[in-house]
Structure 1
């Protein structure tokens, strides 16, 4: 929806499972009259890639699979910390937790680390109208109790009533890991609204999660770790005219599909990339896809720089010329690394091991994921100075992807772990 004289359109909706399609219909009619691409970012809580489009044969997710069939899907995307507030602040600012200095739920990055720009703020400052529905920034102190409004949003963010939100969270806990039916239904209705409003040919859709979730793996029913089950997330981009042909007049690109209809067929993803990518790449990638100037890479340190990004721009993955015969995009996968980290208050489990406050963090687990292995080293950490001491090693983990995909057999003590330290700094 353009601001006067801007000539640009922008639809921004963060979707957690309680989002309401009515908000989309009410606010987007004006966008269909502009030539600029809208952006619809769908963010899901706690969703690992247990979806049909990621090869899960038990999960029924026809609407998300339908989106994937028109999208570029990244098979190996990873979050930077497996807990809501730090992960969301990280990818919405395009900076890693060590730069946002947010590892818990108890500070606001603009005051605590630096007055960093966010993805919606950058679009807003470039003439776009930005809107939020449901959980985008984590509510509470980490978003200044305002979801970073008015910095990021043109209008106050929409939130469901507290009673409805609590009821929704109960439904999510009861059902969505089992069948993804509730999630898939909400996503399907949201996407079908794009067809109803004739916006499918002018809207980029990005779909992801803030982190994964262990469902019994490693003895855990939670996130709070550096394992793949906690950091591996779905990531896909639908870009009109690039990842799929523009829909014909009257054609429905995203018709709603009933997840309980046994006749629905599994849809294969459109294009796929096996390259390792990180959620901090969302900022430069969305900016580039929309035709805006991609923010520059951050200097070190960058606390004084309002606009920069630490993630790589993924725009090269969307250049499909001369690649029509190969659904997997070429690259040099052994040069790619995804970084994650997680804090602990002590070497042994205690009451606050999963969610320590900043003042209690004594150890930081820095983890790198390559196409061949995941390597994690737990080192001493000073919460007052935000400094890790890589000479103070408390423990290490090394898992090989091919021989141990579930990461159950730690080979760290059998390896030359110290030789990998140089890779731990992004």
Structure 2
């Protein structure tokens, strides 16, 4: 009750705009890759995100600018590439390089929107983004559920770290707790309460869900919904993949609660809904698990946009997450700020035949060597290069979807390699400029 009253007080005085201007609901899902039914994954159950894709536009080939939470979020929340934000790790603030930049939610507030952020939106809190409603749900709920489930189901796997829940060899567990005891359920509750408070206003609401970020913990029913016999992996990786998909199914159910409330309030027809993960995620490809790679698994992200007047469909052209900010400006009829480095996806939303980008570029700092690498993804190829002569890779995605055969040293690819180097150099020079 007190929290709802605080929401009400925070919204007093927020200006009401002309009803024709669309609302924005921006949903960010932590560590969510393209393991969705609408992306062709037959093992997972994601009816809410599938339904959103069915009434919106799903971008088949959307890519993150950095396969790590803080750099990625700083990039799409400012509309700038990591080379511009200066954020390449989990702790740096975007204000170090961009002290005056106006972030996406702040820009909508500055243009008269009632604004809110619920759950995890920024990875590092931004003191200059001051919205009407700001609620971050404590993560201890899921940690407590995880530790309890590990003790009950996997007592042999003892934590090795100093903090509770740290250092398990197997960071997944099915919980006997009900959905209401989980962090994402509370985030959905807060998002629903905020929608109720915003229903008479024109709003921008960003909602950041936590799962399927590790630990992969969810109510047991979501584990039981995943048939492990259909998963093509082995041993503990099989259990981990089941758990990741279970956590994905659980967060989908909470997204479904928020979208259902949007419909019940009769706001869906005048609301732009954007859904994405903050980066890709390796699930065993190349023998790798989690994020921080430049391969397809680490950089490929879900991106769904449902907007008033936009016909549903699928777009196969290349898109980048840095494009979200200018796209929302265009869809809302707002002028684009001059600092934006992305390009609007509105032409692709309006015209299924419109072409996407010629290339999508991602950056990475290697965990162990600290070398900086870049990936250039075109319609047919992926080029990866690491600095300090760290090596080059070239994959033909038409015949090598799993990126297993490096063509970089083949004489027949010499001209293509030259073009890739030149295009990347031009891009980096452009986006790094003051």
TM-score, structure 2 length as denominator?
Answer: 0.70
| Equivalent position of 1:374 in the other structure | 382
| Equivalent position of 1:229 in the other structure | 297
The one of 126, 131, 134 aligned to 1:148: 126
CA RMSD across the alignment: 2.8
The one of 391, 403, 419 aligned to 1:407: 403
Q: 1:400 to 1:22 in 2, by over 3 A?
A: farther
Provide Cα deviations, 1:6-27, integer angstroms capped at 9, x if missing partner: xxxxxxxxxxxxxx99999999
| Equivalent position of 2:244 in the other structure | 177
1:188 equivalenced with 2:188 (yes/no): no
The one of 153, 164, 176 aligned to 2:141: 164
Q: 1:188 to 1:378 in 2, by over 3 A?
A: same
CA drift of 1:132 comes to 0.5
Instruction: Answer whether contact 2:84 2:97 (CA < 8 A) is retained.
Output: no
Q: Residues of 2 paired with 1:24 and 1:78: CA distance? A: 35
Provide Cα deviations, 1:158-181, integer angstroms capped at 9, x if missing partner: 011342253446664465622432
Long gaps (5+) in structure 1: 1-19, 244-269, 297-307, 321-328, 345-351, 381-392
Q: Residues of 2 paired with 1:28 and 1:115: CA distance? A: 25
CA drift of 1:152 comes to 2.1
Q: Which has a greater percent of helix? A: 2
Structure-to-structure mapping, 1:330-369, within 5 angstroms: 330-332=353-355, 336-344=358-366, 352-353=367-368, 361=370, 363-369=371-377
CA drift of 1:153 comes to 3.1
How many residues are treated as equivalent by the alignment? 327
TM-score, structure 1 length as denominator?
Answer: 0.71
The one of 82, 101, 111 aligned to 1:126: 111
| Equivalent position of 2:58 in the other structure | 73
Structure-to-structure mapping, 1:3-402, within 5 angstroms: 34-138=19-123, 143=124, 147-149=125-127, 151-155=128-132, 157-164=134-141, 166=143, 167=145, 168=183, 172-173=216-217, 177-179=244-246, 180-243=248-311, 270-296=312-338, 308-320=339-351, 329-332=352-355, 336-344=358-366, 352-353=367-368, 361=370, 363-380=371-388, 393-402=389-398
Q: 1:162 to 1:46 in 2, by over 3 A?
A: closer
Q: Residues of 2 paired with 1:133 and 1:24: CA distance? A: 12
Query: Per the alignment, in what secondary structure is the counterpart of residue 48 of structure 1?
Result: coil
Off by >6 Å, runs of 4+ in structure 1: 20-33
Q: Residues of 1 paired with 2:80 and 2:261: CA distance? A: 32
CA drift of 1:95 comes to 0.6
CA drift of 1:60 comes to 1.4
Q: 1:183 to 1:420 in 2, by over 3 A?
A: same
Provide Cα deviations, 1:144-198, integer angstroms capped at 9, x if missing partner: xxx214x323235201134225344666446562243201101100100101212
CA drift of 1:37 comes to 1.1
Instruction: Answer whether contact 1:48 1:213 (CA < 8 A) is retained.
Output: yes
Query: Per the alignment, in what secondary structure is the counterpart of residue 53 of structure 2?
Result: helix
Q: Residues of 1 paired with 2:10 and 2:331: CA distance? A: 22
Query: Per the alignment, in what secondary structure is the counterpart of residue 280 of structure 1?
Result: helix
Q: 1:171 to 1:376 in 2, by over 3 A?
A: closer
Long gaps (5+) in structure 2: 146-182, 184-210, 224-242, 428-434
RCO higher in 1 or 2 (8 Å CA, sep ≥ 6)? Answer: 2
Provide Cα deviations, 1:295-354, integer angstroms capped at 9, x if missing partner: 23xxxxxxxxxxx1111111112325xxxxxxxx21446x6100001113xxxxxxx42x
| Equivalent position of 1:259 in the other structure | none
